[in-house]
């Protein structure tokens, strides 16, 4: 896409995030002692990366004077101990850095552009702004449930990127239990609905998706079901034959992932009816809730 026009400001983007996080942390503190006792008895469930939990670890956790290296207790919540990677598709600054994002990176099967600008609504609300807003809402929901959330970027980079290979590496390095890349599509008017993209089996160069194809499909099916339920949106009428699922082998962010990962195209920004949803903060909150529910369903198994 070659869009260069103005963008809408998503309303209340920054204000939204902090309050739920603060409430979540406050709710965690009373449970910290119990959680610590359980932890000491049975060991830390699931995770192998205790340091990742520091952002949500209650400060009132009991000290362990006899062993300075005692592990920090995990936060309470249904997603405690889980690491989730959120990848907000594209970057609002990519439009101004087309030479940088056109540089090729190796995605295993072939070389491909570092990233693209993404699409936008006809009125100028960019996909990158949309994905970052949904990511913030999703992060708040997941952290409230005790998850440790990593982001591939938070609008804080020098204006562009990261490249798709780096986005995969960030999830891999975090040993994420699940990863989701958030997008919205740019298809013709009349093409409507959402779809979830699953990794194909790829074994070429640095790409080997064989270990993640199965769990990624399960993740994708959970996200598809819950996204439909919470948003009321129908699965895509132009991809996936009504299943809301698509399988692709041309996306570096999936090919290079070593952790269960899917993309979600939340709707078609170029369709006027879908655009009315995508530009609504209330709808984006539902979108985040649907994705959060899908992740929680997947990680609860």
Residue among 74 and 279 whose Cβ is closer to Zn ion: 279
Residue 82 sits in the site that holds Zn ion (CB under 5 A): no
Query: Among the candidate windows 9-17, 29-37, 140-148, 176-184, which touches Zn ion by CB under 5 A?
Result: 176-184
Characterise 159 by phi-psi region: left (phi > 0), alpha (psi -120 to 50), beta (else): left
Closest CA to 53 of 33, 37, 74: 74
By CB under 5 A, residue 183 contacts Zn ion:
yes
Distances (CA, A) of 63 to 38, 57, 66, 71: 15, 13, 9, 10
Question: Which residue is at the shortest CB distance from Zn ion?
Answer: 183
Q: Counting beta carbons within 10 angstroms of the beta carbon of residue 233, is it exposed (0 to 12), middle (13 to 18) or buried (19 or more)?
A: buried
3-state class (DSSP) for residue 2: coil
Structure tokens, 216: 């990624």
Per rule CB under 5 A, is residue 89 in the interface with Zn ion?
yes
244's CB contacts (< 8 A; 6+ apart) are: 193, 194, 195, 196, 224, 227, 228, 235, 236
Q: Which is nearer to Zn ion, 139 or 183 (CB)?
A: 183
Distance CA 261, CA 107 (A): 15
Nearer to Zn ion, 24 or 89 (CB): 89
Q: Does 222 bind Zn ion (CB under 5 A)?
A: no
Nearer to Zn ion, 184 or 259 (CB): 184
Q: Of 65-73, 78-86, 111-119, 159-167, which segment contacts Zn ion by CB under 5 A?
A: 111-119
In the set 92, 118, 193, 252, which binds Zn ion (CB under 5 A)? 118
Residue 160 Cβ vs Zn ion, minimum distance, rounded to whole Å: 14
How many residues of this chain interact with Zn ion, rule: CB under 5 A? 3
Q: How far is the CB of 199 from Zn ion (least distance, A)?
A: 16
Would you say 73 or 118 has its CB closer to Zn ion?
Answer: 118
Tokens of 186: 């740019």
The structure tokens listed for 102 are: 């056109």
Rounded least distance, CB 142 to Zn ion, Å = 21
Is 40 catalytic? The answer is no
Binding piece for Zn ion, criterion CB under 5 A, among 15-23, 182-190, 199-207, 210-218: 182-190
CB of 231 to Zn ion, least distance (A): 18
Contact 251, 164 (CB under 8 A): yes
Q: Which is nearer to Zn ion, 58 or 253 (CB)?
A: 253
CA distance 209 to 215: 11
Site stretch for Zn ion (CB under 5 A), options 47-55, 183-191, 210-218, 233-241: 183-191
Instruction: Count Cβ atoms below 10 Å from residue 169 Cβ, excluding itself.
Output: 16
Binding site for Zn ion (CB under 5 A): 89, 118, 183
Which of the residues are catalytic? 265
């Amino acid at each position: 896409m070659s869009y260069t026009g103005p963008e809408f400001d998503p309303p209340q983007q920054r204000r939204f995030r902090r309050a739920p996080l603060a409430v979540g942390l406050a709710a965690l503190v009373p449970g910290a002692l119990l959680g610590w006792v359980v932890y000491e008895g049975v060991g830390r469930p699931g995770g192998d990366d205790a340091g990742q939990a520091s952002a949500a670890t209650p400060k009132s956790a009991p000290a362990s004077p006899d062993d300075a290296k005692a592990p920090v207790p995990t936060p309470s919540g249904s997603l405690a101990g889980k690491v989730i990677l959120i990848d907000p598709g594209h970057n609002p600054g990519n439009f101004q850095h087309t030479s940088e994002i056109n540089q090729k990176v190796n995605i295993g099967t072939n070389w491909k552009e570092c990233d693209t600008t993404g699409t936008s609504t006809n009125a100028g609300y960019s996909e990158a702004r949309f994905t970052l807003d949904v990511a913030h809402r999703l992060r708040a929901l997941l952290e409230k449930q005790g998850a440790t959330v990593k982001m591939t970027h938070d609008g804080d980079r020098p204006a562009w990127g990261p490249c798709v290979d780096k986005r995969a590496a960030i999830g891999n390095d975090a040993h994420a239990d699940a990863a989701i890349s958030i997008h919205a599509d740019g298809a013709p008017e009349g093409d409507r609905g959402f779809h979830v993209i699953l990794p194909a089996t790829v074994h070429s160069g640095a790409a080997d998706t064989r270990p993640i194809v199965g769990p990624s499909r399960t993740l994708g099916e959970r996200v598809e079901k819950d996204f439909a339920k919470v948003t009321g949106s129908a699965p895509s009428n132009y991809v996936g034959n009504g299943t809301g699922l698509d399988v692709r082998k041309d996306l570096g962010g999936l090919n290079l992932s070593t952790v269960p990962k899917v993309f979600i195209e939340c709707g078609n920004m170029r369709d006027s009816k879908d655009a009315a949803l995508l530009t609504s903060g209330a709808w984006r909150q539902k979108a985040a809730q649907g994705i959060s529910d899908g992740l929680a369903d997947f990680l609860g198994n």
